[in-house]
Amino acid sequence: MGKKKKRGRVETDAENGEEKSELGNGVDVKLVNGDAGENKEEKRKKEKRKRKREKNNEPTKFIPTISIAVSGSIIDNAQSLELATRLAGQIARAATIFRVDEVVVFDNKSVSAEDSSLTTTGDADGSESGASFLVRILQYLETPQYLRRTLFPRHNSLRFVGLLPPLDAPHHLRKHEWAPYREGLTLKEKAGDSMGTLVDVGLSKSVVIDQVLDPGIRVTVVMGSNRYLEQDYLHKVVTSSEPREMGFYWGYKVRYASDVSSVFKQCPYEGGYDHAIGTSEHGLIVNSSELILPKFRHLLIAFGGLAGLEESIEEDSNLKGNNVRQVFHSYLNTCPHQGSRTIRTEEAIFISLQYFQEPISRAVRIFEHQNLSIP
**pLDDT, tens only, 262-308:** 999 999 999 999 999 999 999 999 999 999 999 999 999 999 988 88
Q: Can you list the alpha helix ranges (DSSP code H) found in 29-182?
A: 40-55, 81-97, 130-142, 145-151
pLDDT of residue 230: 73
Taking the C-alpha atoms of residue 196 and residue 14, their distance in angstroms, rounded to an integer, is 34
Q: What value does the mean pLDDT take over residues 340-357?
A: 94
Residue 134's DSSP bridge partners are: none
Instruction: Give the number of other Cβ atoms within 10 Å of residue 6's Cβ.
Output: 11
**pLDDT, tens only, 216-268:** 999 999 998 877 777 678 899 999 999 999 999 999 999 999 999 999 999 99
pLDDT of residue 55: 52
**pLDDT, tens only, 181-220:** 999 999 998 877 778 899 999 998 999 999 999 999 999 9
Taking the C-alpha atoms of residue 202 and residue 327, their distance in angstroms, rounded to an integer, is 44
Average pLDDT, the chain: 82
Taking the C-alpha atoms of residue 233 and residue 73, their distance in angstroms, rounded to an integer, is 49
User: Do the beta carbons of residue 181 and residue 171 sit within 8 Å?
Assistant: yes
More confident: 261 or 111 = 261
Tell me which residue of 291, 293, 297, 251 sits closest to 271, measured CA to CA: 297
pLDDT of residue 25: 33
Helix axes 345-355, 81-97, angle to 10 degrees: 10
pLDDT of residue 27: 31
User: Do the beta carbons of residue 252 and residue 104 sit within 8 Å?
Assistant: no
pLDDT of residue 191: 76
**pTM of the full predicted structure?**
0.79
User: Do the beta carbons of residue 218 and residue 184 sit within 8 Å?
Assistant: yes
Question: Any idea which of 24-28, 119-123, 365-369 has the lowest mean pLDDT?
Answer: 24-28
Q: For residues 107-121, b (16+ Cβ closer than 10 Å) or e, as one string? A: bbebeeeeeeebebe
User: Do the beta carbons of residue 342 and residue 1 sit within 8 Å?
Assistant: yes
Taking the C-alpha atoms of residue 297 and residue 292, their distance in angstroms, rounded to an integer, is 15
